[in-house]
Amino acid sequence: MRAQLNRSIRTFFEDRGVLEVETPLLSWGTVTDPALTPFKTAYHRPGSSYSGDLYLQTSPEFAMKRLLAGGSGSIYQIVKAFRNEEQGRYHNPEFSLLEWYRVDFGLDQLIDEVEALILMLAASFGKGLTSRRISYQTLFLARLQCDPLESSFSEFQAKAEALGLPEASHLCGEDRATWLDLLFGHFIQPDLGRDALTVVIGYPAILPSLARSCPHDPRYVERAELFLAGMELGNGFHELRDPNEQRQRFERDLERRQDHGQVMLPMDQRLLEALRVGLPACSGMAIGLDRLLMALIGSSSLEDVLGFPIERA
């Protein structure tokens, strides 16, 4: 079934003229996102006393953007990615990822393509599927009666306590981004994608990741997330191209890591240099293929679609 999935994905992108590429699994730079913990290893150069730290990549994004800046055109890859401190029903520290970038695509065009891909794959597995789009703010208002931008921390706390999570205030403090992630993950996400592929759009600017700001309303970023069967399948953006803004976001990530007592990580200087050279206007999406396969066959555990989960690796 995995071979069928990968074959269908490759045919889909070949028919659309998107080039398959490979990028390194090991790199000198890594993510700064406080929600992610990369694996680190030491490199020892043969015949030399030199050694340095390398990181297994949590996503091929940074290297693929360097290819885009070099003139590759639209590209995709099916690749292994690695995230430390992740294991469970929906997590394995080593996982399969589909990531692609479309030059001159806006976010709406990217979502159109995502929906076409997922619905085609579902049909190939004999699964009828439809798709819908809904805004992040609409979900908060409908499910929690809170506004992600306007509600106070005390309102968030009251809602969390009423829903059986009294420790939320201790976990989140006065960090709005942490509050939003917690409330969304616990009380909204589990119901998403139960009756259709759900694409969530209109993310607040305090949850930017690598998306550019909305030109008509800077309170939001041009970001989309995919959900199916209560699982997050993917994350996509109209990509940020400003190297100064990207550096500032990396620095804010590192400040949050420091505030939370997390390990400090090196920002990817080669990505920043590629942005300075010039990233073409593009949109990109990453989809977890293990979770997608779970959803397509109706499985409830990642172990059902992995030959060797971490306990048996």
Name every residue whose Cβ is closer than 8 Å to that of residue 138 and which is 6 or more positions away in sequence.
202
Confidence class of residue 162 from pLDDT cuts 50, 70 and 90?
A: very high
CA distances from 9 to 63, 88, 96 (A): 21, 26, 13
Q: 263-287, pLDDT tens digit by residue?
A: 999 999 999 999 999 999 999 999 9
What single-letter amino acid sits at 232? E
Name every residue whose Cβ is closer than 8 Å to that of residue 84 and which is 6 or more positions away in sequence.
37, 38, 39, 93
pTM (predicted TM-score):
0.94
**Domains, the chain, ordered by start:** 2-49+56-130+236-312 (3.30.930.10)
Q: What is the DSSP letter of 201?
A: E
Residue 272 CB burial class (10 angstroms; 0-12, 13-18, ≥19): middle
Give me the residue label for tokens 């995230």. Answer: 83
Long-range contacts of 66-72 (CB under 8 A, 24+ apart): 66/270, 66/271, 66/274, 67/21, 67/23, 68/101, 68/103, 68/274, 68/279, 68/280, 68/282, 69/274, 69/275, 69/277, 69/278, 69/279, 69/280, 70/274, 72/19, 72/21
Instruction: Tell me: pLDDT of 47 over 90.
Output: no
Q: 193-246, pLDDT tens digit by residue?
A: 999 999 999 999 999 888 999 999 999 999 999 999 999 999 999 999 999 999
